[in-house]
Amino acid sequence: MDRDFKPMTGESVGALLEAAGAQVMVRSGRSESYSAPREFSFEVRASFTNGMGLQIVARQFNYRDPWEATGRVNDMVDVSLQRNGAFSTLPKGFDYFQGIDEECGLDEERLKEIISLVAGINQKLYLLQEMTGDL
């Protein structure tokens, strides 16, 4: 089954993060020009009051028509998790970032799930799992 994903922009991703209470920085990479030097279309960094952060990158345009005329969109992003300024995993028991610090190929709905999850993380979970040897 082919799903139609909603295109994302740096601004739309930034708005999702701001709505969740994050401080956000957005920068564009690749422009509409084919000769643009950067490997990504946009990057968004977010910092939450709980010490957690997200780095969201749309690495390249996806093409939706055979002649690449009108189908250039960003509908998938890669998300890296940060804790206190360093890349991190989540404690055990969550659906994302288990043993890895990056989730790749996320559509907007899955991105919203991650934003909500990270915004609500209590850092004491890390301490508890470190004390029990689970982390």
**106: domain range?**
10-132
Structural domain includes residue 96 = yes
3-state secondary structure of 110: helix
| Tens of pLDDT, residues 32-55 | 555 554 556 788 999 999 999 999
State how many domains the chain has.
1
Range 122-129 average pLDDT: 90
Do the domain assignments include residue 97?
yes
| Poorest-pLDDT segment among 7-11, 67-71, 93-97, 116-120 | 67-71
**Long-range pairs of 86-94 with CB within 8 A, sequence gap ≥ 24:** 90/117, 90/121, 91/125, 91/126, 91/128, 91/129, 91/134, 91/135, 92/129, 92/134, 92/135
Residue 134 has pLDDT above 80, yes or no: no
| pLDDT tens string 57-79 | 987 655 555 554 555 567 789 99
Q: Is residue 27 part of a domain?
A: yes
Cβ count within 10 A of residue 1: 2
pTM: 0.81
Residue 106 within a domain: yes
Domain for residue 83, yes or no?
yes
pLDDT number for residue 85: 85
| 1 lies in some domain | no
**Is 113 among the domain residues?**
yes
Instruction: Please report whether residue 2 resides in a domain.
Output: no
